[in-house]
Amino acid sequence: MPDNNAGRVKLNILDISLKQAVIPVICSIFFSGCVSLSDREPISETGMQADILISDVAVFDGIAAHPLLTHRDVLLKDGRIAAIRDHDPEHSADVKIEGRGMTLMPGLIDFHVHVGGTEAPPWQPVFYTPEYTLSAFLAMGVTSVVDLGGIPQLLEKLNGELATGEITGPRLFYAGRQITAEQSHPGPLIDESLAWPMNSLIKALMVDEVNDESDMDVLIQDRLESGSTLVKIMVDSIPLDSPMLSAESAKRIVAAAHRQHLPVAAHIGSDANLRTALNAGVDVIAHSVNQSELQAETLAELARSETPVVSTLRVFDNIAAVKKGLNPVTAHDARVMDQMIVESFTAPEAITSAMAEYADHIANNRNQSYRGCERMRRAGVPVLMGTDSPLFGAPAGSSAYFELKLLVTQCGYTPAEALQAATSLPGQVLSDWTGQAHLGKVLVDAPADLLLIKGMPSENIDALQQIQTVISRGAVVTRNLPDLSMY
């Protein structure tokens, strides 16, 4: 029987302080100086739970087809929504927030993040502490995240500290190590971003490479033991000539995961990748088709299966923009970014020929990708908002607004439909997987993860840039964001 742990470096990171990022710590051990660690401190802090009354507010409940409720009083108690009533000036609570002229909606759910990642380009690898990244998500209104690839011991530790309030951030669901073919994505991308020995160490911590003879049950048991919510497989070739997980391996991984009642997400790039993932029986598709045209028969199969697709449009737009010599960073992004990273995009440096070829391929297929997104909407394919952030000019938190904006402007979604893709739809998926009821909704007994926004985002998606208050687990979040006018 093959040794599935061959080549895996086992490091005990459970005792590493979360005030330090794992990557720079390992880097310092080897004195390689290969990356920089940002000194940015967390930018959000959650207060104590209290009885909170949001008075005279409009309510978007997370369902696009439902009308906006106006002049409502919403009472929060013990971390949940206790009552939604017609406005009455006599209603009171320990904390009263005036909601007139504003909309109360569910907190955003980002279904594709990497807490240990960075939006820095490969020529300027600057990383944050995971506490900072989590705080940035929450400061920008993202109250739940699904990490689709990271170091499982770290994610398990972070999840525990979020649950106890030791650190501040969104609800965290995670896959842990990504499962891929030998010498396949994300290995070459890690090699592009980090020098030896960092690249080898990070791949050992974040990736399991398999072949058709591997014992998939061992891999799934490993994820159960680290508290993973789901399994992530890679069905793609980056660079374009790199190996890819076989159809047989994909089927065997999904079967092993489903035997243990774990759902599976599949990273895909092309129409052929999507067909492989669907034939394997995966539960969610990470990325819409971005390397080819979405074929009619594949779209029909996708719609019949009712398999959700995670959008991740913006990060590929960023790749195309940089390839054209454009800077993808906006003032909205810069509020949560290290200045060194912001400046790095003003003077892009050379990348390897293989990665340049991939970037060209992505840039040349952007219009087809958006047509595919629009066709998925018309076919009724459930689309979940995901950003793949922080990654390549797409920072934690701020990227959610831009992802939703692209769904509206490029894929034909109404603002309410786009918001649904970031609230009740992903919330229902997570509720089905975890048993945590009513995630992503504003209704009685739902978790009190809420945004109070100036204006009506269900009619104008740009209003998402006007978040006034973030409430997480029934507590008001203090946000230490620089004023937008500074940029």
The count of other CB atoms within 10 Å of the CB of residue 293 is 16
Give a yes or no: residue 456 inside a domain.
Answer: no
In the prediction, which pLDDT does 487 show? Answer: 67
Give a yes or no: residue 203 inside a domain.
Answer: yes
Which has more pLDDT, 15 or 251? 251
Range of the domain at 160: 22-32+107-441
45-79 residue pLDDT tens: 998 899 999 999 999 999 999 999 999 999 999 99
Q: What is the distance between the alpha carbons of residues 461 and 455, in angstroms, rounded to a whole number?
A: 10
Give a yes or no: residue 145 inside a domain.
Answer: yes
Dihedral, 217, 220, 225, 228 alpha carbons, nearest 10: -170
Question: Could you give the number of structural domains in the chain?
Answer: 1
Give a yes or no: residue 47 inside a domain.
Answer: no
In the prediction, which pLDDT does 356 show? Answer: 81
CATH number assigned to the domain comprising residue 223: 3.20.20.140
Which has more pLDDT, 13 or 284? 284
Q: What is the distance between the alpha carbons of residues 101 and 228, in angstroms, rounded to a whole number?
A: 41
Give a yes or no: residue 249 inside a domain.
Answer: yes
Give a yes or no: residue 464 inside a domain.
Answer: no
102-113 residue pLDDT tens: 999 999 999 999
155-172 residue pLDDT tens: 999 999 999 999 999 999
In the prediction, which pLDDT does 29 show? Answer: 37
Give a yes or no: residue 76 inside a domain.
Answer: no
Q: Which residues, at least 6 apart from 140, have a Cβ–Cβ distance to it below 8 Å?
A: 336, 396, 397, 398, 400, 401, 467, 481
pLDDT at residue 376 above 90? yes
Give a yes or no: residue 65 inside a domain.
Answer: no
The pLDDT of 336-363, averaged and rounded, is 85
